[in-house]
Every structure is written in C-alpha cells, then in structure tokens.
Amino acid sequence: MTNKLFNKINMDNAQDFVYNTACLSVTTGDDYMDVYQQLLRFVAETAKEEGSVEFFVVPSNPDKGEFMLWEVWENESALDTHMTMNYTQEILGKNIITLKWNNLVTDF
C-alpha cells in the first residue's frame, strides 16, 4: 500500500496543503459500530475526490463514542468543494456525529 500523503508532500510544498485534525463523537443513542461503518463508506467516497491527499477516520475512544479524523487537501478550494458534495451533506445531515473539536491549518 502506498501512502498518498508522502507521495505528494515534500519539503518544498508542505506549506501549500490544507490540514485538519478533528475529534468526532457519536450522537447519543446511535450505535458506535454502525456509525463507524457509515464513516468508512464516507471515507471511501472522499478518497476519490480530486484534491484529496489523505482522509481517514480511526476509532479513538469507543467508551466515549469518539473517533479521530485526519484530512489533507491540496488547497482550500478542494476542501470547500468536499463540503458541498452530496455524501458530505448526507452524513452531516444524519446527525450521527458531532464535532467535539478540530484544528484546521490553512497556512504556516
């Protein structure tokens, strides 16, 4: 398996990308494993997007219903486009996850 992130980012262009780290929490009453399966399908769709360098979700604290999300985009425009995609709007509209916190880095 190759790592798209390391194939695209190098010392000369690392500052050009958009990075986000987020903690997501399962909405009260929703099943953790069911939500994880839905997130994995969402990740698979997102990975196909032009401008998506890396995008994945991992279990963080199942007892608290938490996941960590990491994403890297070629630029802000790619991230903005991602937020308008039907599957992005669909998963957000299901209200199965809440954003506990995130750290978006657009320049450094």
pLDDT tens digits for 2-47? Answer: 455 556 766 677 888 999 999 999 998 889 999 999 999 999 999 9
CA pair distance 65, 94, nearest whole angstrom: 16
Mean pLDDT of the chain: 91
Average pLDDT over residues 52-56: 94
Q: How does DSSP assign 10-54, residue by residue?
A: -TTTGGGSEEEEEEEEEPTTS-HHHHHHHHHHHHHHHHTSTTEEE
- The predicted model scores a pTM of 0.87
The confidence band for 80, taking pLDDT boundaries of 50, 70 and 90, is very high
